[in-house]
Structure 1
Amino acid sequence: MKKLETREDIEQLVNSFYTKVIKDEKIASFFTDIAKVDWEQHLPKMYSFWESILFGQMTYKGNPMGAHFPVNEIKAMEQEHFERWLELWTQTIEENFAGENADLAIYKAQNIAKLMAFKMEIARRL
């Protein structure tokens, strides 16, 4: 199994992941119907996001939390949605990569999913 080592690897991972996401019955609508994601803009941001997280290359500029609040106002982003996101992410990594950075990508995604689910829940209560 290949190690997750380069930006090109991240691009492969992110592209494979979002191919699954847009076909997924539980979470696709957040991306396609509600956020109406412009994939030409979104994918490079996600490459930079994960490159920053995994390799310390500070190429990402943005506020991932802020981007999710407007979606959460339209349709509640609940724990089960973040669990599905994490499941697809983990599955995609395990199908394509191994090693320390692959493990780190799963670990970081687990933390992101927990934090996002918590913050979206709090936002719905306010």
Structure 2
Amino acid sequence: MKTDIASREDVALLVHRFYDRVRKDKEIGHFFNETIKDWPAHLNKLTDFWESNLFYQQKYMGNPLLVHAEVDAKFKGAIGNYHFGIWLRHWIATLDSHFEGTVTEKAKQRARNMSVRMFFTIYEHRKPRQM
């Protein structure tokens, strides 16, 4: 029987299992595998982020929108809405595999909102193309 996300340990499980999926994905895995050098530190930071986001803790300090715009620049504007769709499908599949409940649904909705905001931020940070 699945339970709802209720603790930092649950968030850590979600984050670790999600990135297990993402890192293996043939279409988006390279964005992560070529960018992130210290996976344990990154997973801990993302656990802080999601714990802060879901339980209103003040553990995460950073600007994920700007960070993702910088990653897009590193990949010469290659990250598109399609890639965020893959990311979101992995997120929801990971949630559905391990959890159910109110906080789980909140995690899905927050990720949907975040993917849209990140895509728009990436797009806005791209330099205008010469015509």
Structure that is richer in helix per residue: 1
Gaps of 5+ in 2: none
| Cα distance in 1 for residues equivalent to 2:46 and 2:23 | 15
Output the TM-score relative to the length of structure 1: 0.94
Larger Rg: 2
Deviating more after overlay: 58-67 vs 81-90: 58-67
The number of aligned residues is 125
Shift of residue 119 of structure 1? 1.4
| Cα distance in 2 for residues equivalent to 1:48 and 1:74 | 25
1:65 and 2:92 aligned: no
Shift of residue 37 of structure 1? 3.6
Residues 57-108 of structure 1: per-residue CA shift (max 9 Å, x gap): 1111111112112211122211011111111000000110000000000000
Shift of residue 7 of structure 1? 0.3
Instruction: Give 3-state SS (helix, strand or coil) of 1:22's partner.
Output: helix
Counterpart residue identity of residue 72, structure 2: N
Gaps of 5+ in 1: none
| RMSD (CA atoms) | 1.1
1:113 and 2:76 aligned: no
Shift of residue 125 of structure 1? 4.5
Please list every run of at least 4 consecutive aligned residues from structure 1 whose deviation after the TM superposition is greater than 4 angstroms: none
One of 93, 97, 117 as aligned partner of 1:95 = 97
Counterpart residue identity of residue 110, structure 2: K
Output the TM-score relative to the length of structure 2: 0.91
